[in-house]
Amino acid sequence: MSITTDTMRVPAPERLAPALTTGWMGWARANLFSSWLNSIVTIALAFFIVKYLIGFVDWAFVNAIWNVPNDAAGRPDTSSCRDNKGLGACWAVITEKHRFMLFGTYPYEEHWRPALVCLLFIGLYIVSAMRRFWRKELVLIWAATLTVIALLMWGGVLGMAFVPQDRWGGLPITLILATFGLAFAFPLAILVALGRRSKLPAIKALCVLYVELIRGVPLISLLFMASVMFPLFLPEGMNIDKLLRAQIAIILFAGAYLAEVVRGGLQALSKGQYEAADALGLSYWQKTAFIILPQALRLVIPPLVNTFIGFFKDTSLVLIIGIFDLLTAGKTAIIEPMWQGFAVEVYVTIGLIYFVFCFAMSSYSSKLETELNRGRRR
């Protein structure tokens, strides 16, 4: 076998891989130009992207107007924006109205309070998102923060002027509706989900009826109900304000959807867990609180976050019954004749705010999903 040993002693000279299969060129060949059809699609798509991107940049930045001068009466003069219509955006409407869009009719000199409230909400979300805070103390943190938020919004203590609820508006309302909605809907959802899996027929029937009834109708009909029917339900003289009524409707709505998510977690748990808890002689509530719920809730955190994103978006529906949330504030900001016709700019800005919140939550949820599955994927 001398011939083979000879050839083995002298290795073939090393050659580089073909230039077209490595580096960015190789990547482009594999992912963008792998066939005739793919090349044509890539080039056509790239052409349109560049074309529309240039058009958008022109509209949003190059030709945009950021400020408008005041006219003789001291009102903003939007004629320059009107001449520019179709060519460039009129961000002056945002410059002029951003405080109104964010905080509604809240007294101007007190705007630091709703601003602080928004920051508190964001801080609360961040703390709740961190796994090291997933313990019982989180409930206390929520209770404390929500109390501080209520104090800040209403005022009337610590030298802060009292602000009635009908002057609240803008982003804080959106955050309040979504967060308080979740905080109250979640315990309700757990009870309903447990009830729906209960062996007691009457309780099960009540829970099924509630969930299916709420899930079968649109949120708007519940909001209408809250705005026109709740006053009829209550005894004479007892009156609750519009925001609270909408909040109740949102809680009832969210409760039904969250209950189904929680029920998914309860069903995903293996039967052995229930049997083991029974074998230990735990009572129903001990079993539920110490064995079942901690595991079931952990399973459904990603879908819970997704459901929460849905509610965050759905709070915008209160516009229809005239509650002053972020979207309503934006829509009202352009009612004045001089700002009419600049809706697109306002909606783009509001969309950006919603997008930041929802995108943060959805990327968090998908990250969490991979993280939580890591232990189970061996």
- Counting every residue written for the chain, the total comes to 378
Residue 41 or 208 having the CB closest to another protein = 41
Which is nearer to another protein, 10 or 37 (by Cβ)?
A: 37
What's the rounded Cα separation, in Å, for the pair 158 and 162? 10
- Calpha distance 137→9 (Å, rounded): 70
Nearest-angstrom CA–CA distance, 285 and 159: 45
Positions touching another protein (CB under 8 A) are 31-32, 34, 38, 41-42, 45-46, 49, 199-203, 206, 213, 215-221, 224-225, 228-229, 231-236, 309, 313-314, 316-317, 319-320, 327, 331, 341, 343-344, 347-348, 350-351, 354-355, 358-359, 362
In the bound state with another protein, the residue whose beta carbon lies nearer, of 7 and 267, is: 267
CB of 89 to another protein, least distance (A): 13
Residue number, 43 or 140, with CB nearest to another protein? 43
Which is closer to another protein, CB of 92 or CB of 152? Answer: 92
Task: Tell the smallest beta-carbon distance from residue 274 to another protein (Å).
Answer: 15
| Spatial separation of the C-alpha atoms in residues 159 and 141, rounded to whole Å | 25
Dist CA 36 CA 78 (whole Å): 51
Q: Least CB distance from residue 75 to another protein, whole Å?
A: 23
Contacts with 220 (C-beta within 8 Å, 6 or more apart), sequence order: 317, 320
Neighbouring residues of 183: CB distance < 8 A, sequence distance ≥ 6? 142, 146
Nearer to another protein, 163 or 252 (CB): 252
Closest distance between another protein and the C-beta of residue 152, in Å?
26
Cβ at position 58, least distance to another protein in Å: 17
CB of 7 to another protein, least distance (A): 37
CA atoms of 307 and 246, how far apart (whole Å): 19
For residue 325, the SS3 value is strand
